[in-house]
Structure 1
Amino acid sequence: MPRSLLIISRQAPWSGPNPREALDIVLAGGAFDLPIGLLFLDDGVFQLAAKQDAKAVQQKDLSANLQALPMFGVEELFVCADSAAERGLDPTRFSLEEAQVLAAEQITALIDRYDQVITL
């Protein structure tokens, strides 16, 4: 049985290469039927904010990659409610409607469900 993997994406989409690398890992894992999950935590919740203008900050738009996650079989998507609230974001307006909103105390249990965890 393949080991499960949780990717925790903690950086804003315009902060550097880590958000894109996290998505690439998740998409690759999904393509190979690896049990994989993706958690948006801290500034990573900004990746889910709708109507971002990536060109304004000279970055690539991640929204197409985010929308492709379910097509690659990645259905374990999570967002930290506390991180969203601290940044003034409403999780009901996120671009990924499939993402489960978790309270901070639920995240520890989530992490324990996976065999391996990578934080980017």
Structure 2
Amino acid sequence: MTKSLLIISRQAPWNGPSAREALDIALAGGAFDLPLGMLFLDDGVFQLASSQQPSALQQKNLAANLQALPMFGVEELFACGHSLRQRGLEQNDLELPVDILDDAALAALIARFDQVVTL
């Protein structure tokens, strides 16, 4: 039986390779039909911001990877509502439609998956 996987991405896209690695894991898992979800938490919610200018920091844009998630079967996308509010982001500021969760829903989400990877 295939185990489900939740990937929790906690790093901003300009703060090292963790954001890209989380997306790569999600895309690879989706390509193999692994049941998985992705949660953007803490500074990881910045990955979802549509007004990024990564070239100013000599970084690659993650927007194409984000847009590819649903095409690879990764349709369970979540963001922490508290993290979004702390960083001044709202649903209409985001590149992708995500389910915004409160603290209680976060705990239930994490408990629902068999394995959790945090990057």
TM-score range, shorter chain: over 0.9
Output the TM-score relative to the length of structure 1. Answer: 0.97
How far apart are residue 84 of structure 1 and its match? 0.2
d(CA) in 2 for partners of 1:102, 1:23: 20
How far apart are residue 20 of structure 1 and its match? 0.2
Task: Provide the aligned C-alpha RMSD in A.
Answer: 0.7
Question: 2:25 — aligned with what?
Answer: 25
d(CA) in 1 for partners of 2:63, 2:42: 18
d(CA) in 2 for partners of 1:104, 1:91: 17
Alignment check: 8 A CA contact 1:81 1:91 kept? no
How far apart are residue 51 of structure 1 and its match? 2.1
d(CA) in 2 for partners of 1:90, 1:114: 26
Output the TM-score relative to the length of structure 2. Answer: 0.98
Question: 1:67 — aligned with what?
Answer: 67
Question: 1:16 — aligned with what?
Answer: 16
Aligned residue identity for 2:89 = L
d(CA) in 1 for partners of 2:91, 2:85: 8
- Is it true that 1:115 corresponds to 2:114 in the alignment? yes
Alignment check: 8 A CA contact 1:31 1:73 kept? yes
How many residue pairs match? The answer is 119
**Structure 1: runs of 5+ lacking an equivalent:** none
Q: Percent identity?
A: 66
d(CA) in 2 for partners of 1:14, 1:55: 10
How far apart are residue 105 of structure 1 and its match? 1.7
Moved over 3 A (4+): none
Aligned residue runs from structure 1 range 52-63, under 5 A:
52-63=52-63
Aligned residue identity for 1:2 = T
